[in-house]
Structure 1
Amino acid sequence: MINCIKCATELPDEANFCSNCGFPVGSLKVCRSCPECGASLSAIDKFCSQCGKSVRVVKSADENPFVTKESKSSNNAIPKMISIEGGQFLMGGAAANYPVTLTSFKLSETPITQKQFSYVMGHNPSKLQGDDKPVEMVNWCEAIIYCNILSAMQNLTPCYSIGSVTDLRTFDASSPVWKRISCNFMANGYRLPTEAEWEFAARGGKKCDPYQFSGSSDINKVAWYGENSDITTHIVGTKAPNSLGLFDMCGNVMEWCWDYFVQEFPPTAQTNPHGPQIGNMHIKRGGSWLDDFQQCTVYFRSASAPAGKSSSLGFRVCQSEIGAPI
């Protein structure tokens, strides 16, 4: 017997689709989403099982329906992770910065795309549709759930749990049970970056790029923001990356971080800070397609409630480098 990765229904070994939720299982691979409704599709689907739209059959592994000429990034269904060597940096704006030391970690090359989100979650919640655009209209809790499911799909140890439970799909985003969530930073699965990891990566890591924006002092080279976005998101990776090869760290969509929001940084040096233990709002970083240039700087901070959603808010994923030295 096998179990559906989506809903855990027990299925016979020869099953191709889950009898409960319809998700492809066994040897079938989900490699795309329906252009009409965002439902996950396998390589052999001729019609979308959710909306009935006719779709193209992918005949071979060499025929990749996701490659676009516009994007400079990889744009695969599984996020490409960039290794970032740990080090020290001054976090925050010039008026309120403090020294932080981080161990090495990995960060996804781009924000999670709608294709990547649909591949894992089976639906596309985005308002501004496009497979290779960043996913948005995702709250903090849904980003956490995505991380755990993707970890399970890749046979990695999930980072997040509430008590002993790692399958968090049954918990509503408004439930107070989310206050009990914990993150195992020693697990090898996917997670949200901490605020410190996000800023360190945006600044070029140990290179400590001297730019106001991630990768350049000219925002138009690296970011889709209020003045050049034409009031919409854009395909990820169409602006220049920063020196670590990370795209869209500024602009396109804001990105959820793990930490609860606190107004003031701690007054002393920190090593691998994870933010306060309790709070009501979670950190967002990077600015978006509708923001001004100040909100797209590498040090600008904002926050939203964990159940909050917006067409300007998405996320990218992180992995700990287990055993990495400081």
Structure 2
Amino acid sequence: MKSQLTVYLNHFMRPIPGGVETVRDYRDEQKWISSDSKMSMPGQKGKLTEIEKWVEIKAFLLAKYPVTEGLYEAILRSTGESTKSLLKDGEVANNRPVVNVSWCEAVSFCNLLSKKCGLQECYTIDKNSGNVGFEPQANGYRLPTDAEWQYACKATSEGYRYGEITDIAWYEDNSEERVHEVGKKQPNQWGLYDMLGNVWEWCWDLYDEKTYGEYRVFRGGSWAEEARGCGATSRRRGHPTFKIDDLGFRLARSCEWVRS
């Protein structure tokens, strides 16, 4: 019998059909590893090169909301009994997206959540080096890949956004300088909320290992972002230990390992 936690989480996972996605980016050819910033490149950029790649997307599951503060805190602090109490009414308190979470912490949360649901952890974490590996055969929770995130955000749309920005996103012009509860704006065509605006979302991928070392991708814009930064193809990078008050994450699972 499935645990109450698993049933609760399954309710929020949306099926994403397979397909192909084109991922484009502009890379600086000059090697740069930040010494005084864990997010952005200071000063003038070097010569930019356009990178384009086609990625085959296998069908997968993606949460219709970013991970909330309520769920995040409950899982970190819970025993089996406290989790049962938390979910007894089918809801969690505090539905704002969790923020100030690093990529490393997001990966660790995915593993912890998988373990609590009796699933195999997707990530191996070396305690000495901190290196993180991915187990493709695992059936647990994970971060979406960069291409998966973009593909799911677009859904059936072909433009920069899946709707009018004021209808689908909390961003600089309408957020009142704060994060908002999930699900208060219109979803995309696949039933995913807050893909744009509200909080940036970590992805699994390295941004560009040759140029930026271990920096990871995050996507989608936030409550503090200008409109131009809230789009399906907008990409940013951050050191895996970087955290800030408009950056969170969303859960994914691989479909081939999900059993009803």
TM-score band w.r.t. shorter chain: 0.7 to 0.9
1:91 paired to 2:51:
no
Provide the aligned C-alpha RMSD in A. 2.6
Query: Which position in structure 2 is the counterpart of 1:82?
Result: 14
Q: Which of 308, 316, 320 is residue 250 of structure 2 equivalent to?
A: 316
Structure 1: 4+ residue segments shifted above 4 A: 76-79, 93-96
CA distance in 1 between partners of 2:255 and 2:228 (Å): 32
1:223 paired to 2:175:
no
Query: Which position in structure 1 is the counterpart of 2:105?
Result: 142
Query: Which position in structure 2 is the counterpart of 1:56?
Result: none
Structure 1-normalised TM-score? 0.61
1:198 paired to 2:130:
no
Q: Render the CA deviation track for 1:196-255: whole Å, top value 9, x for unaligned.
A: 110010010xx3x12322x21x11010000010000000100000000000000000000
CA distance in 2 between partners of 1:306 and 1:211 (Å): 30
Structure 2 SS opposite 1:191:
coil
CA distance in 2 between partners of 1:303 and 1:149 (Å): 25
| 1:124-203 equivalent positions in 2, closer than 5 A | 131-163=94-126, 177-178=129-130, 180-203=131-154
Q: Which of 226, 234, 241 is residue 187 of structure 2 equivalent to?
A: 241
Please state how far the C-alpha of 1:96 moved relative to its aligned partner: 5.1
Contact kept, 8 Å, 2:138 with 2:257, in 1: the verdict is: no
Query: Which position in structure 2 is the counterpart of 1:301?
Result: 235
Please state how far the C-alpha of 1:187 moved relative to its aligned partner: 1.0
Q: What runs of 5+ residues in structure 1 fail to find an aligned partner?
A: 1-28, 31-75, 124-129, 164-170, 263-274
Q: Render the CA deviation track for 1:91-131: whole Å, top value 9, x for unaligned.
A: 237975432211111111110001110121129xxxxxx81
Q: What runs of 5+ residues in structure 2 fail to find an aligned partner?
A: 27-49, 79-92
CA distance in 1 between partners of 2:95 and 2:139 (Å): 26
Q: Sort the Cα spacing of 1:138 and 1:157 in 2 relative to 1 into closer, same or farther, 3 A.
A: same
Structure 1 SS opposite 2:129:
helix
Q: Render the CA deviation track for 1:122-171: whole Å, top value 9, x for unaligned.
A: 29xxxxxx8110000111111111101110111111000125xxxxxxx5
More helix by share: 2
| 1:115-130 equivalent positions in 2, closer than 5 A | 115-122=70-77
CA distance in 2 between partners of 1:290 and 1:304 (Å): 16
Contact kept, 8 Å, 1:112 with 1:316, in 2: the verdict is: yes
CA distance in 2 between partners of 1:133 and 1:241 (Å): 16
Higher relative contact order (CA 8 A, sep 6+): 2
Letter in 2 for 1:241: P
CA distance in 1 between partners of 2:215 and 2:173 (Å): 28
1:288 paired to 2:251:
no
Q: Sort the Cα spacing of 1:323 and 1:148 in 2 relative to 1 into closer, same or farther, 3 A.
A: closer
Q: How many residues align?
A: 216
Q: Render the CA deviation track for 1:24-57: whole Å, top value 9, x for unaligned.
A: xxxxx89xxxxxxxxxxxxxxxxxxxxxxxxxxx
Structure 1 SS opposite 2:143:
coil
Q: Render the CA deviation track for 1:48-84: whole Å, top value 9, x for unaligned.
A: xxxxxxxxxxxxxxxxxxxxxxxxxxxx677711111
CA distance in 1 between partners of 2:213 and 2:11 (Å): 29
Letter in 1 for 2:66: P
Q: Which has the larger radius of gyration?
A: 1
- More displaced, 78-87 or 184-193? 78-87
Please state how far the C-alpha of 1:314 moved relative to its aligned partner: 0.3
Q: Which of 153, 178, 185 is residue 232 of structure 1 equivalent to?
A: 178
Contact kept, 8 Å, 1:77 with 1:116, in 2: the verdict is: no
